[in-house]
Structure 1
Amino acid sequence: MTFAIRIPAIAALTAIAMPAMAQEVNLYSYRQPELLAPLTDAFTEETGIKVNVAHLEDGMVERLKAEGARSPADLVLTVDIARIYDVVANDLTQPVQSETLEQNVPAAFHDPEGHWWGLTTRARIVYASKERVADGEVTTYEDLADPKWKGRICTRSGTHAYNVALVAAYLHHHGAEETKTWLEGVKANLARKPQGNDRAQVKGIWSGECDISIGNTYYMGAMLSDPEQKEWADSVRIVFPTFEGGGAHMNISGVALTKAAPNKENAIKMMEFLTSPKAQEIYAEANYEFPIAPGTEPAELVKSWGTFTPDEVNLTDLAKLRPEALQIIQSVDFDG
């Protein structure tokens, strides 16, 4: 009798527990959980689905490969097209077809086959000294190779993902021969060996080591919010260069559904939420990026940096050019 009673009791507990366990989604992210908290909290509040975030500084592809079909990851979130494309190229994702995603994400910012979807964008721009660089003195990426900038440019490593993406865009617009010549010109104009991150280049302008640097837009917001770095930010202004015949180079924060995805339905709900105007504006304001959903607006601080014309090339096309771009960077010994 006792044994017969316990079996239904356990079954009932299991039936109650299983739906609760299923109401979650697991996210592998290159971005820290605290930066995602405004988004994940809003999603949980709206849907009741808990979000578990695992922060990976690198090695996402290797980890997903090692876990294989047993991976707990439902979604991956990256802060660069090259990184999300690597996950896709290694056959670690599955396509998502969704009218909501199609409506929220412009064609230039998602994979044509639905393997990755953009969330927010940032421009790769020029930080220019307010004191030593006149308005209009630099207007294009091509300008960076002009000898007038000799000894005046700071940048991080040429092989960093952000710069490889920029070189891939240059390659798309101008071809291999012109890209190599341009990179040689930029290298000749460097004030110091490539080093540090994007903020370190702005510090170099503030300290007088260089007059212009290459960086992502959101670092301006990050520096202004840091008492130790605000003085660096105040010493520069943002310039939105364009390619000749194109626009300003853009990159993305993007999301993809993993091949394993144990909570697939919840994961797709989260993807749709992340691309919604509400979530786009939360994310863009928290991280000083540009929302991409139609009808959305950047934060007031981001608006204050000015307007620009984004380059319209699909980022998948640029990701495919990344190996060739990296080869050209290494061939000119950019970091040497």
Structure 2
Amino acid sequence: MSHRLIPALAALAVATPALAQEVNVYSYRQPELLAPLTDAFTEETGIDVNVAYLEKGMVERLRAEGERSPADLIFTVDISRLAAAVDAGVTQAAESDALRENVPSQYRDPDGHWWGLTTRARIVYASKDRVDPSEVTTYEDLADPKWEGRICTRSGTHPYTLALVAAMIEHHGEEETKTWLEGVKSNLARRPQGNDRAQVRAIWAGECDISLGNTYYMGKMLEDSEQQEWANSVNVLFPEFEDGGTHVNISGVAMTKSAPNRDAALQMMEFLTSPEAQEIYAAANYEYPIAPGSEAVELVQSWGEFGADPLNLMEIADHRDEALRLVEEVDFDG
């Protein structure tokens, strides 16, 4: 069987590094999203892939296991989680011509510790009935009093929100970002709560007119018969920073510091970053592949075109602590 899912982390410890014909993965991404990739990699190379799905505690697990860790690669989403793994010292640099050719510079660690696979844009969902799409052009505009009582969003301390706030800091500095956060808070229709889909449901229910969310949730809602009506009640809009582009976040891969099967793991990283593999991965979760020449699926393309913010994502990750402090200072969730 080409894809073997191992739900218990302890089970990976029985892997035999000497065989060097397997790759062991710790993943925050669901197994069903990885299966098409791992199956294709095994079919092409004959190297088996063992996946342990984790809900939390990946860095802590790797630290505890140390050099004994059976994990070769980690899969995760959000730049803050990738940066946290690097900062914790549980990754190592992995470089090759193929990786550099397949992953644009803004979507990889300058030191080669993590490499992007797909992106998702942090966009505005807007009521088709109550919002003219031309009204939403920038993230800065969300603090305008015209939106008073009209915005829904998830918690300010969620990684997706913190990444956007961190990007705002990189563009405008702490003082202006704090003012912006205060403005957005004053425009909220309700206390921050729920996930991105819950915000779209609130728009459909008339509780607010616009919300922040990731692009892929539109695809997720459209494939759910109970949520299609929510999705069909909103437009997908791509705001930009006044001096940049549309904020994007990332799913990525990194090689662990222990990596008992390093050569096979590097081979898998090169496979994962190929345009063909990125398109498979992106299609599974309605995301955007980033390799030159690759394309998103037709449904994702139908939501519209946008220019991604050119900031290197590590510049955003560097402001995460500041972003959290500002969110707490303005009591955004209060």
Q: Same fold (TM over 0.5)?
A: yes
Aligned to 2:112: 114
Match of 1:271 in 2: 269
Is 1:182 aligned with 2:180?
yes
Where do 1:253-264 residues align within 5 Å? 253-264=251-262
Deviation at 1:295, TM superposition (A): 0.4
Q: Name structure 1 gaps, 5 residues minimum.
A: 1-16
The one-letter amino acid of 1:226's match is D
1:135, distance to aligned residue in structure 2 (A): 2.0
Match of 2:318 among 295, 320, 325: 320
User: Take 2:317 and 2:243, find their aligned partners in 1: how far apart are those partners?
Assistant: 20
1:125 equivalent in structure 2: 123
Partner of 2:229, secondary structure, is: helix
TM-score normalized with structure 2 length: 0.94
8 Å contact kept, 2:17–2:261: no
| Aligned counterparts of 1:194 and 1:49: Cα–Cα separation in 2 | 45
SS at match of 2:319: helix
Distance 1:45 1:52 in 2: 14
Structure 2 equivalent of residue 197 of structure 1: 195
Q: How does 1:213-228 map to 2 (within 5 A)?
A: 213-228=211-226
Is this contact kept in 1: 2:42–2:49, CA < 8 A? yes
- Give the partner amino acid of 2:289: P
AA matched with 1:263: N
Query: Which amino acid in structure 2 is aligned with residue 128 of structure 1?
Result: A
Partner residue in 2 for 1:152: 150
Given that 2:22 and 2:50 are in contact with CA atoms closer than 8 Å, whether structure 1 keeps it comes out as yes
The CA deviation string for residues 8-38 of structure 1, in whole angstroms up to 9 with x for no partner, is: xxxxxxxxx9799431111111111111111
User: Residue in 1 aligned with 2:38?
Assistant: 40
Q: TM-score, normalised by structure 1?
A: 0.94
What's the % identity of the aligned pairs? 72
> Residue 49 of structure 1 corresponds to which residue in structure 2?
47
What is the aligned length? 320
Query: Where does the alignment leave 5 or more consecutive residues of structure 2 unmatched?
Result: 1-14
Residue 87 of structure 2: aligned partner: 89
Shift of 1:312: 0.3
1: CA distance, partners of 2:123 / 2:173: 21
Displacement of 1:245 in angstroms is 1.2
Give the direction of change, closer, same or farther, for the CA distance of 1:275–1:173 in structure 2 (3 Å limit).
same
1:28-67 C-alpha deviation (Å, 9 max, x unpaired): 1111111111111111111111111111111111111111
Tell me the SS of whatever aligns to 2:318: helix
> Matched residues in 1 for 2:171 and 2:43: separation?
44
Rg comparison, structure with higher value? 1
Distance in 1, matches of 2:17 and 2:37, equals 23
User: Which residue pairs with 2:135 in the alignment?
Assistant: 137
RMSD: 1.2
How far, CA to CA, are the matches of 1:135 and 1:97 in structure 2? 43
Q: Distance in 1 between matches of 2:19 and 2:232?
A: 49
| Cα distance in 1 for residues equivalent to 2:162 and 2:119 | 17
Measured in 2, the distance between the counterparts of 1:281 and 1:194 equals: 34
